[in-house]
Amino acid sequence: MAESQVLSGLVAKRGELAGEVEHCRRELHRLADELGHLDATIRLFDPAFDLGGIRPRRRRRGHHWFGPGQCQRLVLEVLRDAVGPLSDPGVTAAVAARKGLQDRPEVLVALQKTILAVLRRLAGKGVANALGLADGVRGWERA
């Protein structure tokens, strides 16, 4: 009895995966066709153009934690509400707490990369300042 339930679950999962593989194959063929059309159009304008010199762009694997501009707004709120300068991990922990993200190391490492990029961008705009804290750690405050 239990074997038939396990088997039926495995068969269902295999059917699901096979459907996903078929969908991905169709999508791959569609994209290859579009690429061929683009190549042909480029050759219409410049037959000598080296299509092999066009490097493929990497797809961003962004996290779906934030909507557009939400991370920057949260960072600015954290810096505004802070009593003093906050370290990189301090800003990360405060943003994670406001967003309700899990306090797991792999989440915090990925989140910190995003937050540091936002802080560097804000520093470039003159909205945030980086400064050295007493223990040699970098701190951030609003300008």
Distance CA 139, CA 94 (A): 14
List beta partners, residue 141.
129
- Tens place of pLDDT for every residue, the chain, 143 residues? 678 889 999 999 999 999 999 999 999 999 999 999 999 999 999 999 999 889 988 876 666 888 888 999 999 999 999 888 988 889 999 999 898 887 788 888 888 899 999 999 999 999 998 888 777 788 888 88
Q: How far is the CA of 43 from the CAs of 40, 56, 78, in angstroms?
A: 5, 18, 52
**Nearby residues of 96 by Cβ (< 8 Å), 6 or more positions away:** 102, 103, 107, 108, 111
**101 neighbors 112 (Cβ within 8 angstroms):** no
* Fold classified for 70-142: Arc Repressor Mutant, subunit A (1.10.10)
- Tell me the domain boundaries of the chain: 2-53, 70-142
**Structure tokens given for 109:** 């490492």
Distance CA 118, CA 128 (A): 10
